[in-house]
Amino acid sequence: MKRSRLRILKIGGSVITDKDENAFEKLRQNALEEVCRAISESWEDLVVVHGAGSFGHPHVKKYGLNPLGASKVHLACLRLSERFCSALSKFGVATLPIHPLNFYTRISGLECDVGYIRRAVDSGFLPVLHGDVIFGRDGIEVLSGDDIVIHLAERLRPSSIGFATDVDGVMVNGKVVEKLSAEDMEKIGDEGGSRVDVTGGMLKKIQKVFRMSYRCEIFVFRGNYNNLKRFLKGEKVGTEVIL
């Protein structure tokens, strides 16, 4: 099958929100604008997924996932999605917010209408998804933005995937490496996560990436303006994951 020009970009929740232990729905406004400015300069053939940050993880801990709790978690995720998409819109980006609770299920596996995302991109929109709660086989569960990225990559076959995080790349033996292969797995540090995370830090992200059934260029890097520009231009940035 022909490889597309599509890129998938995950903006970690720790890039655009404050995930310190006591932070609750705290946006990093300057960082958000930096991210949105970089995206607005190159958003054709792109799908963006952002994490929940302090608009989701503390809520899962505080409210749980019973219907009322899940509803509160989802509403907080919507608030972050709205802030993110409105900021992108101010920079002239035709964002199309997609909310996983109404779009994804995980009954016998993760499922969504991928054709809808392809149509949105082909029609000149930037689809923006996010970590959320969804219906699973046994009730409501958390869906991480990383899982969305892997699921979409296996179906949309992008040319590259970027994980913008709050660290410079993946640490092996305490140092950020330029290239990371499966053999480095046991030596990976768990930097980049946070104690408030309910979906796991760097190690879990990398484990998911290595389990992906599709090969393309993958980079993990600090989500600042320059790095995002480099990724969106197709340049190497941060740590390249070699599958």
Cβ closest to ligand IP8, residue 74 vs residue 177 = 74
153 binds ligand IP8 (CB under 6 A): no
Nearest to 169 by CA among 94, 239, 81, 80: 239
The one among 8, 9, 47, 52 contacting ligand IP8 by CB under 6 A: 52
The residues, ordered by sequence, that sit 6+ positions from 187 with a Cβ below 8 Å of its Cβ are 172, 173
Taking the C-alpha atoms of residue 96 and residue 233, their distance in angstroms, rounded to an integer, is: 22
Q: Is 200 exposed, middle or buried (0-12, 13-18, 19+ CB in 10 A)?
A: middle
Q: Which stretch binds ligand IP8 (CB under 6 A): 48-56, 112-120, 223-231, 233-241?
A: 48-56
Touching ligand IP8, residues 55-94 (CB under 6 A): 56-57, 60, 73, 77
Q: What would the x/- binding string for ligand IP8 be over residues 198 to 217, using CB under 6 A?
A: xx------------------
* Residue of 145, 162, 169, 193 that binds ligand IP8 (CB under 6 A): 145
Residue 132 makes contact with ligand IP8 by CB under 6 A: yes
If 0-12 CB within 10 Å is exposed, 13-18 middle and 19+ buried, where does residue 95 land? buried
Query: Is 39 near ligand IP8 (CB under 6 A)?
Result: no
